Amino acid sequence: MKRCIRNPLITIEDVKPSREGLRVEGIFNCGVCQYQDEILLVCRVSESAGFTSQSVKIPIMVQNGSNMAMNVVEVVKAEHPEWDFSDSRSVRQKTPHGIKTVYLTSFSHLRLARSRDGINFTVSDSPMVQPVLKEESWGMEDPRVTRVGDTYYINYTAVSPQGPATALLSTKNFVDFKHCGVIFAPENKDVVIFPEKFGDLFYALNRPVSEAFGTPEMWICESPDMIHWGNQRHFCSVSGNRWESGRIGGGAVPFRTEKGWIEFYHAADENNRYCIGAMLLEANHPEKILARTENPVFEPEIGYETSGFFGDAVFTCGCYQNSNKIVLYYGAADDKICRVDFTLEEIYRSLKL
């Protein structure tokens, strides 16, 4: 396992705000693909509208006729003594049902970054797509890219006041995009779609969260067309290991090896320290887990991973394979993009294969 010596590869310094009045807070969790002779990253860019000790400005999208337009809501802290402003990511409130988010302090959009060598990236000056759904009026987050033939499917977390859901885009050229709507109702994110059909069906891992009871864990489901999904089955529980005791969910889009599918997944402990684990799934029956790492294959250790917008977090949405090498991109501390390379043998060893 080898972190890129050029890490962090992309930081907020490299990103132009998407509009006047917004400040870039992070460029992180990115989907990954090879397109023509380039490595493309579909990055999550988060932006805030500014805050002082007295108030927070909240950027949200509102319906404006048939379009969506950005609106900034100023929340004066003294007017809401019942709200909790201590978390940099959200304004929260205690309710009979637990602690709930009232507002997110930043708005995320998707932004393309391109590279020929996988190290030197050029970040586009503007968002890859604009929000079009009411269900993404609080942002678009954590994209994953799955290539099937010449089509690239991009699923992402569509956030709205109703909670985090998962929506889908498709494109053949990264210029024209088709909006395919919300594929999983809230609360469901950390979706990874396999790049092949099994029989007549696509498969996806997803991570529903129930308010009533249960732990945030991984499910698997099927689709004939990428748009409509069913046959949801509980797939994988949190283990007894401390590093993954809080929650687990999909990470990188799975890739096929001679031993089966490798899935890099994310896990958090009770203190919200985010690590990456790996599992091996049966080649023709990806609902069967053949092996799973006892320890993280990757965890936050370096300053750029332990410190940032939200520290102690490494989080991957994608990787690509280059012969025997797996190049994994990850968000570090929710504000920068980094790279780490594994050999297949290293991954097999950590899975005790």
Report how far apart, in Å, the C-alpha atoms of 345 and of each of 183, 325, 353 are.
35, 9, 9
Report how far apart, in Å, the C-alpha atoms of 18 and of each of 109, 129, 161 are.
9, 11, 22
Contact between 29 and its own copies (CB under 8 A)? Answer: no
Q: Which residues within the stretch 77-106 sit at the binding site for its own copies (CB under 8 A)?
A: 95-102
- Nearest residue to 170 via CA among 133, 143, 136, 134: 143
* Least distance to its own copies, CB of residue 286, Å: 16
Distance CA 328, CA 32 (A): 9
Contact between 224 and its own copies (CB under 8 A)? Answer: yes
| Residue that the structure tokens 């693909």 belong to | 33
- Tell me which of 118, 131, 143, 164 binds its own copies, using CB under 8 A: 164
Residue 133 or 290 having the CB closest to its own copies: 133
Contact between 227 and its own copies (CB under 8 A)? Answer: yes
Report how far apart, in Å, the C-alpha atoms of 243 and of each of 65, 274, 303 are.
47, 8, 19
Selected range binding its own copies among 133-141, 170-178, 279-287, 341-349, rule: CB under 8 A: 133-141
- Tell me which of 225, 282, 294, 345 binds its own copies, using CB under 8 A: 225
Residue 18 or 29 having the CB closest to its own copies: 29
- Tell me which of 165, 193, 314, 351 binds its own copies, using CB under 8 A: 165
Distance CA 203, CA 216 (A): 19
* Least distance to its own copies, CB of residue 168, Å: 8
Contact between 219 and its own copies (CB under 8 A)? Answer: yes
Three-state DSSP state, 81:
coil
Amino acid found at 142: D
Residue 5 or 65 having the CB closest to its own copies: 65
Selected range binding its own copies among 80-88, 214-222, 279-287, 307-315, rule: CB under 8 A: 214-222
Q: Which two tokens stand for residue 111?
A: 């932004």
Contact between 208 and its own copies (CB under 8 A)? Answer: yes
* Least distance to its own copies, CB of residue 209, Å: 5
Residue 65 or 98 having the CB closest to its own copies: 98
Distance CA 317, CA 155 (A): 10
* Least distance to its own copies, CB of residue 244, Å: 16
Q: Which residues within the stretch 267-286 sit at the binding site for its own copies (CB under 8 A)?
A: none
How many residues are there in the chain? 353
DSSP 51: B
Contact between 245 and its own copies (CB under 8 A)? Answer: no
Q: Which two tokens stand for residue 100?
A: 């709930």
Residue 221 or 327 having the CB closest to its own copies: 221
Residue 164 or 195 having the CB closest to its own copies: 164
Distance CA 176, CA 185 (A): 25
- Nearest residue to 147 via CA among 253, 265, 276, 64: 253
- Tell me which of 55, 124, 232, 239 binds its own copies, using CB under 8 A: 232
Q: Which residues within the stretch 177-206 sit at the binding site for its own copies (CB under 8 A)?
A: 180-188, 206
How many residues interact with its own copies (rule CB under 8 A)?
A: 50
Angle among Cα 159, 179, 266 to the nearest 5 degrees reads 45
- Tell me which of 65, 66, 228, 258 binds its own copies, using CB under 8 A: 228
Distance CA 204, CA 77 (A): 42
Three-state DSSP state, 183:
strand
Contact set with its own copies (CB under 8 A): 95-102, 133-135, 160-165, 180-188, 206, 208-215, 217, 219, 221-225, 227-234
